[in-house]
Structure 1
Amino acid sequence: MKNLLLGENIRLSSIKEKDIDIIMEWFDDYEFLTYFDILPAIPQIKDQVNDTLDYFIKPQNRVIFAIRHNETKDIIGITGFDDIQWNNGTATLFVGIGDKTHTGKGFGREALRMLINFGFYELNLHRIQLNVIAYNERAIRLYESLGFVREGAYREFVNRGGRRTDLYLYGLLENEWSFE
């Protein structure tokens, strides 16, 4: 049986105590925050980062993974599902490569492929969705290349730097996905 959380270059694992300081650096990086979330890009202190991680770890409707490089075992990003609706078999996906030395190398794609496989074949999801800010063109190309379909837009939903930007809704159904 294939390990759904182990890829060629990365693996998905739990977040360790030693990872918190690294994650805190990402959540203190304005550029990372402007692409990662629709919330105001306010750098966070350690207690706020811990609260965010606790938000994902405790309830039963969220899953969070560390993205680790296979060779170094270092955390390079985070990914997971939020708003899991078990009765409907739906979840909202998120991903962020926080270590800038590892962006643009395909690790986000690999992490998403593993996460989607995990969602459909381990969590028995029927639908995986995501939201992406319209200016995040690189992420949009990635999501569309994986088969996500743009299903709508929340017009002028995000306010960044005094400029209004749309927020796109994408979805992927289990029967549209090919397990690898």
Structure 2
Amino acid sequence: MLQSLLIGDRLRLNALRDADIPLITAWYQDQNFLRNLDAIPVGLRSESSVREMIEGLMKRPTRDYGFAIRKKDTDELVGLTILDGILWNNGTCHVSIEIGEPSHRSRGYGREAMELVLDFAFQELNLHAVSLTVFSYNEPAIRLYEKLGFTKEGVRREYLHRDGKRHDLYLYGMLRREWEAR
């Protein structure tokens, strides 16, 4: 039987909507959320800058795919996942995931959403390799990526300076054959 594309047991991935922008803007006001996303200094985003970010992502459908992560039963927005920087000639891309509300974290949503987006990357887009980066202090994300089968491919030592300390940036990757073998 054909598996439903982008639909899991509890979640589904679909397009972002204008109505999502206020909630995403609220996530971008949370410094703990932001500190796991980017190496740049925490900068709170306005609603117009979030709208611009989302519109920019949706304007590059041959190089980037952005999805809303929603609960199947309520349609509630849980987070975002993005496949970006696709190099079609090499069959490679980068993946990122954001679970917005603290109450939605550590509930298995990240794992299910990553499984869905990786299925999409390897099965629908026919990509060969997916990579990601994660800061060394983001232990829950590291555990998730390793459970999913990502391999630690490298370290950018002392890449980030936060709160008076240096932190490494880990590089992880997964090949199509590794996804298929799990």
Please give the per-residue CA displacement for 1:11-59, whole angstroms capped at 9, x wherever unaligned: 0010011000000001111110011222222111112212221231112
Out of 156, 159, 164, the residue aligned to residue 157 of structure 1 is 159
The gaps in structure 2 that reach 5 residues or longer are none
Q: Report the secondary structure of 2:36's partner residue.
A: helix
Other-structure match for 1:62: 64
8 Å CA contact 1:117, 1:179 repeated in 2:
no
**Counterpart code for 2:77:** I
Aligned length: 180
After TM superposition, the score normalised by the length of structure 1 is: 0.96
Other-structure match for 2:100: 98
Q: Report the secondary structure of 1:129's partner residue.
A: strand
Other-structure match for 1:22: 23
Please give the per-residue CA displacement for 1:48-71, whole angstroms capped at 9, x wherever unaligned: 212221231112311100000111
Please give the per-residue CA displacement for 1:127-156, whole angstroms capped at 9, x wherever unaligned: 000000010011001000111000001111
% identity of equivalent residues: 42
Deviation at 1:179, TM superposition (A): 7.6
Q: Give me the whole-angstrom Cα distance separating, in 2, the residues matched to 1:133 and 1:26.
A: 19
Please give the residue correspondences for 1:4-153 in structure 2 after superposition, counting only pairs within 5 Å.
4-59=5-60, 60-153=62-155
The gaps in structure 1 that reach 5 residues or longer are none
RMSD, matched Cα: 1.3
Q: Give me the whole-angstrom Cα distance separating, in 1, the residues matched to 2:37 and 2:163.
A: 15
**Counterpart code for 1:127:** A
